[in-house]
């Protein structure tokens, strides 16, 4: 007789309904791209005012996408925007979102808060539901430590801004089944992303490599080796990057950069991630980049 391992050979499911928990910068973008691809989405956030804000930003972004797709055909643009927008239900109650094929968590970057949410989702969601986290810096396995469905759990790490950045990192948790992994990869493709796979390691692929690059750029500037403008020009024209490291730091936020370096230093003890006095000083002064009007460069608010 052939023995079958049901958890790893269960047939792949096609994702039709998606719930996104956390309606901030990332969650609203994830909800948008899933709705655009024709999936039914529930967006959950604790705060109703953040759901309002998410809906406004989704509508604006959909209009931008629609205009690009349909040029001057106003009725087609309108149809696209309304059609996608109407696929997104919003709620402040997690119970409204548990009946989904895939639930993606994009809430605050705090281990205990995420663990509590996943334990609840694990209990409330139907058997077949796949759970995923969009964390950037916490271990996938630690977040999912308390859940039973480890075979239906993994990381789906998006990049900001979600509707624009084409990459999705699919992170394999220690218990993930082949069918869950394949379903996640297929889902990524279905929303127009190119997927890469990484084990549950600090920074995964992209942030693990961008960290040392950005840290070395800061140190180079701090030592006075070159101006920030020249380093940015150098990496754009000579390195082929769309933005220089200081432009990128201002875009992502200096507080986020500081946090990412700190986490990676704690986890890897690689001295390349050591704290950078210049970065710490700027964060303490509230110069966080575009969002505060000033970082390495000044911005009109
Ligand atoms: P954000 O602060 O813009 O949004 C977080 C949202 O979650 C807020 O609207 C908050 O009200 C809500 N929230 C908090 N606790 C909740 C709970 N228990 N239930 C429901 N909603 C809750 O944060 P952002 O930037 O969108 O990040 C979210 C996650 O995505 C984090 O894990 C972060 O590491 C990850 N991430 C962030 C990236 C970025 O560039 N900002 C890039 C890739 C991943």
CA–CA gap between residue 256 and residue 56 (Å, rounded) = 24
Q: Residue 12 — very low, low, confident or very high, per pLDDT cuts 50/70/90?
A: low
CA–CA gap between residue 89 and residue 97 (Å, rounded) = 9
Q: Residue 11 — very low, low, confident or very high, per pLDDT cuts 50/70/90?
A: low
Ligand 1 centre from 153 Cα, in Å? 19
pLDDT score of 22? 98
**115 CB neighbour count, 10 Å cutoff:** 17
Q: Residue 3 — very low, low, confident or very high, per pLDDT cuts 50/70/90?
A: very low
Which protein residue has the closest C-alpha to ligand 1 atom 15? 107
The verdict on the CB of residue 263 being under 6 Å from ligand 1 is no
Residue 133 contacts residue 105 (beta carbons within 8 Å): yes
Residue 252 CA: which ligand 1 atom is closest? 40
Residue 177 phi/psi, 5-degree rounding, is -85, 160
DSSP 99: S
| β-strand pairing of 153-157 with 167-172 | antiparallel
What CATH number belongs to 6-199? 3.40.50.720
> Mind listing the pLDDT tens digit for each residue in 249-294?
999 999 999 999 999 999 999 999 999 999 999 999 999 999 999 9
**108 CB neighbour count, 10 Å cutoff:** 10
> Mind listing the pLDDT tens digit for each residue in 90-117?
999 999 999 999 999 999 999 999 999 9
Handedness of CA 297, 108, 263, 177 (dihedral sign): negative
Q: Is 169 a catalytic residue?
A: yes
Cα 243 to the chain's mean position, in Å? 19
Which protein residue has the closest C-alpha to ligand 1 atom 8? 24
Handedness of CA 56, 300, 286, 275 (dihedral sign): positive
* Mean pLDDT taken over the chain: 95
The verdict on the CB of residue 51 being under 6 Å from ligand 1 is no
Give all strands (DSSP E) within 55-214, no chain letters. 88-91, 102-105, 130-133, 153-157, 167-172, 194-199
Residue limits of CATH 3.40.50.720 in the chain: 6-199
Would you state the structure tokens that stand for residue 267, as one six-digit string?
A: 């986890």
Whether residue 212 has pLDDT greater than 60: yes
CA–CA gap between residue 171 and residue 131 (Å, rounded) = 12
Q: Is 40 a catalytic residue?
A: no
Q: Is 190 a catalytic residue?
A: no
CATH class of 208-291: mainly alpha
DSSP secondary structure letters along 241-271: -SS-HHHHHHHH-HHHHHHHHHHHHHHH--G
Ligand 1 centre from 258 Cα, in Å? 17
pLDDT score of 279? 98
> Can you tell me which residue has the tokens 């629609």?
66
CA–CA gap between residue 258 and residue 275 (Å, rounded) = 8
CA–CA gap between residue 229 and residue 240 (Å, rounded) = 16
Q: Is 136 a catalytic residue?
A: yes
CA–CA gap between residue 2 and residue 11 (Å, rounded) = 17
Whether residue 9 has pLDDT greater than 60: no
Q: How far apart are the first and last CA of the chain?
A: 69
């Amino acid at each position: 007789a052939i023995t079958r391992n049901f958890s790893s050979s269960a047939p792949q499911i096609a994702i039709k309904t998606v719930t996104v928990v956390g309606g901030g910068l990332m969650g609203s973008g994830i909800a948008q791209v899933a709705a655009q691809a024709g999936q039914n989405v529930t967006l959950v956030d604790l705060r109703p005012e953040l759901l309002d804000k998410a809906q406004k930003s989704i509508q604006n972004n959909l209009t931008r996408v629609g205009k690009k797709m349909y040029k001057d055909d106003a009725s087609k643009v309108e149809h696209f925007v309304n059609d996608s927008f109407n696929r997104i239900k919003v709620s402040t109650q997690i119970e409204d979102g548990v009946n989904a094929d895939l639930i993606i968590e994009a809430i605050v970057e705090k281990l205990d808060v995420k663990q509590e949410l996943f334990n609840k989702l694990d209990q409330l969601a139907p058997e077949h539901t796949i759970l995923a986290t969009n964390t950037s810096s916490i271990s996938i396995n630690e977040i999912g430590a308390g859940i039973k469905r480890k075979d239906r759990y993994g990381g789906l790490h998006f990049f900001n801004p979600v509707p624009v950045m084409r990459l999705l990192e699919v992170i394999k948790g220690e218990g993930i089944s082949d069918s869950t992994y394949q379903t996640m990869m297929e889902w990524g493709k279905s929303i127009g992303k190119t997927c890469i796979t990484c084990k549950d390691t600090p920074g995964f692929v992209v942030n693990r490599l961008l960290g040392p690059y950005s840290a070395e750029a800061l140190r180079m500037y701090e030592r006075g080796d070159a101006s920030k403008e020249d380093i940015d020009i150098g990496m754009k024209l000579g390195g082929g990057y769309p933005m220089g490291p200081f432009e990128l730091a201002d875009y992502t936020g200096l507080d986020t950069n500081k946090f990412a370096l700190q986490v990676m230093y704690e986890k890897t003890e690689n001295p390349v991630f050591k704290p950078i006095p210049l970065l710490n000083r700027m964060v303490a002064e509230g110069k966080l980049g575009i969002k505060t009007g000033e970082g390495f460069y000044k911005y009109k608010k």
